[in-house]
Structure 1
Amino acid sequence: MYNKLMLLLGAGFLFTACASENGEDQTPDEVPTPTCNTADVTYALTVAPLLQKNCTSCHNNNFASGGVNLSTYAATRTVALNGRLIGSVNHDAGYSPMPKGGAKLADCDITQLRKWVTDGAANN
């Protein structure tokens, strides 16, 4: 009986040692968190497509919901510089949360919008 117990313990140690030594990990690797690129935020390549995807169906030349038009650079710049754009997409107190009745934009989208506004809301 003692020999069987020793044999089982020895086999257990051997298998755990082998998994560790051969590089096998007993736990799955953590999934890396994607980064948010704020190095190259431009109106043409970042902001306009983001607004087109999420905002301009309601905020455009033909139907400027809430008096806000986000379909042109000039109109968007005005809303950006007066604080309404970031206040609304960030769901800040005192602003109408946007998109209306929808989920808040992704954190990266808001970060990119904020970066563009902070950098002066250039037509780049």
Structure 2
Amino acid sequence: MYSKLLLLLSAGLVFSACASENGEDQVADAPPTPTCNTANVTYTLTVAPLLQKSCTSCHNSNFASGGVNLSTYARVRTVALNGRLIGSVNHEAGYSPMPKGGTKLPDCDISQLRKWVEDGAIEN
């Protein structure tokens, strides 16, 4: 009886070792984390759509919450160059955290905004 049990245990170890070597016991790889592209940040293709998605429902020409209107390039550039845009979306001390009452924007969005501002906040 002990020899049968020993034989079964040995067979189980052999088969599990084979499965492990073949990667059969591994969980499927998680999808790769997308990288944040800050190489070609433009106002037209990156910044304006991001602001439209996250900001202009409150900061527009009809309702400029906090006196901030982000509906045109010129207005966005002013807020970008005076530091208020990055300070607010990054929830830095001394700035009103945006979006108001919401969670901070994704790190990639903030990185793209920061890159655009660092590059001179040009209209491109």
Please give the TM-score of this superposition, normalised by the length of structure 2.
0.92
Q: Distance in 1 between matches of 2:96 and 2:3?
A: 75
Q: Alignment RMSD, CA only?
A: 1.4
- The total of aligned residue pairs comes to 124
Separation in 1, partners of 2:34, 2:119: 23
Deviation at 1:4, TM superposition (A): 1.5
Question: 1:117, CA displacement in angstroms?
Answer: 0.5
Q: Structure 2 counterpart of 1:102, which letter? A: G
Unmatched 5+ stretches in structure 2: none
1:57-80 deviations in Å (ceiling 9; x for gaps)? 111112211111111000000000
In the alignment, structure 1 segments of 5+ residues that lack a partner are none
The answer as to 2:36 corresponding to 1:36 is: yes
Q: Percent identity?
A: 81
Structure 1 stretches of 4+ moved >4 Å? none
CA shift at 1:30, angstroms? 3.6
1:15 aligns with 2:15: yes
Paired position in structure 2 for 1:77 = 77
**How far, CA to CA, are the matches of 2:25 and 2:34 in structure 1?**
23
- Residue 113 of structure 1: how far off its partner (Å): 0.4
TM-score, normalisation: structure 1? 0.92
The residue that corresponds to 1:114 in the other structure is 114
Letter in 2 for 1:12: G
